[in-house]
Amino acid sequence: MTEDAVVIIWLVLHITGDKVALYKMVLVFFLLTGNYANAQTSLDYPNRPIRIIVAFPPGGSPDFTARVIGQQIGNMLQASVVVENKSGAGGNVGTQYVATSKPDGYTLLVNSSAFTVNPSLYGPKAGYVPERDFTYIAVVSKQPNVVSVHEKVIAKSLAELKNLSVKEKLAFSTPGSGTTPHLTCANLFHGIWKEDVTHIPYKGAGPASLAVASGETPIGCTAAFGVLQFAKQGKVRILAITSDKRNPNLPDVPTFMELGYPQINDYTLSGFFAPKGTPKEIVEKLNQVINQALELSDVKDKFDKAGLIPVGGSLAQTSTYIASELKHWEQVVKMTGARVD
């Protein structure tokens, strides 16, 4: 509190003797100075490097999204942007880290649908509550999940894979327990087919995709981004995709709906989040910049080649989207009985 303010308050008390007026003046003072500080912080933002924490290792869509959009955030705000990968516990390690970071706009989270799945899958062990610990900045992209097999697996279709699962002991790789690809395949193999196909969780989409491409696991359940390059190289065959229509990058791959599985229509998102309490002006600025980035032809081209569908939208639309995803995956976790392996 400034010396002038102290003098004014002292005069009010000693001239009027009105303590109520004094208390009101002190309250107004702190409210005004607090708002001024927030406004000043927002006007100065950013004045130092912005850290983007990715909850998964390199090689997956969250990392790709963070780097593509992070570059544009840096360009548009004329700031240095540093992307860091903090993976582990299905995305919980990086998420917890950001949840407890200072809410000043300089530490942001990029996470996948694990952000909306893990609270139901892990319960309190997730270490965060989305609506309590985070402000949602933007859902940047979404992509369908796919079921793929190593090139030497004899199954050429989903129906043939079902028959093979009856005869042989099979296993499937995923980016981790509770990720949307895991839940997609748990629903298919265990919920619908009732077959004992073993789940092998990896630490991210990159390792999970590499596992099926190398033959370490016969089946891969990942977002499309992860195995797209391996499919083009002929190392894997993609048998089905969870989108509501065929993907332009994979025109020969049927959707689950086409194959008689209308209940499998899942997407994996990538989004930006900030610790709860981050000044609204900063969150609005970041949301605006991200939406502008999604309109750039260069970004659109990169997303298209990676099989990502741009999303974007206002803060209100983002909140509605995340709330819907939280509810959807809570129901899927209950229905499939999915657990942390």
Mean pLDDT over all residues of the chain?
89
β-strands 198-201, 171-174 pairing: parallel
Q: Which of 110, 106, 97 is nearest to 68 (CA)?
A: 110
Q: Is the pLDDT of residue 10 over 70?
A: no
Q: Tell me if 122 is assigned to some domain.
A: yes
* 36/173 same-domain check: no
Token output for 165: 């699962």
Report the C-alpha gap between 228 and 234 in whole angstroms: 10
pTM value? 0.79
Higher confidence at residue 7 or residue 113?
A: 113
Average pLDDT, stretch 272-280?
A: 98
Average pLDDT, stretch 100-107?
A: 98
**In which band, very low, low, confident or very high, does the pLDDT at 16 lie, cut at 50, 70 and 90?**
low
* 29/58 same-domain check: no
Q: Tell me if 255 is assigned to some domain.
A: no
* 237/276 same-domain check: no
CATH of residue 193's domain is 3.40.190.10
- The number of C-alpha atoms within 13 Å of 215 and in the hemisphere containing its C-beta is 6
User: Containing domain of residue 204, as a range?
Assistant: 144-241
**In which band, very low, low, confident or very high, does the pLDDT at 21 lie, cut at 50, 70 and 90?**
low
* 127/152 same-domain check: no
Q: Tell me if 71 is assigned to some domain.
A: yes
* 130/279 same-domain check: yes
Least confident of 33-37, 45-49, 92-96, 217-221: 33-37
8 Å CB contact between 112 and 176: no
* 162/198 same-domain check: yes
Higher confidence at residue 9 or residue 87?
A: 87
Residue 189 neighbours by CB under 8 Å, 6+ apart: 165, 172, 195, 197
The total number of structural domains that make up the chain: 3
Average pLDDT, stretch 113-140?
A: 96
* Separation of CA 156 from chain center: 32
Q: Which of 56, 132, 60 is nearest to 91 (CA)?
A: 56
Phi then psi for residue 80, to 5 deg, are -85, 130
* 127/171 same-domain check: no
8 Å CB contact between 231 and 223: no
Q: Is the pLDDT of residue 23 over 50?
A: no
* 57/110 same-domain check: yes
The percentage of the chain sitting over the pLDDT mark of 90, rounded to a whole number, equals 74
**Cis previous bond, 254, omega within 30:** no
**In which band, very low, low, confident or very high, does the pLDDT at 32 lie, cut at 50, 70 and 90?**
low
Q: Tell me if 111 is assigned to some domain.
A: yes
CATH of residue 310's domain is 3.40.190.150
* 102/39 same-domain check: no
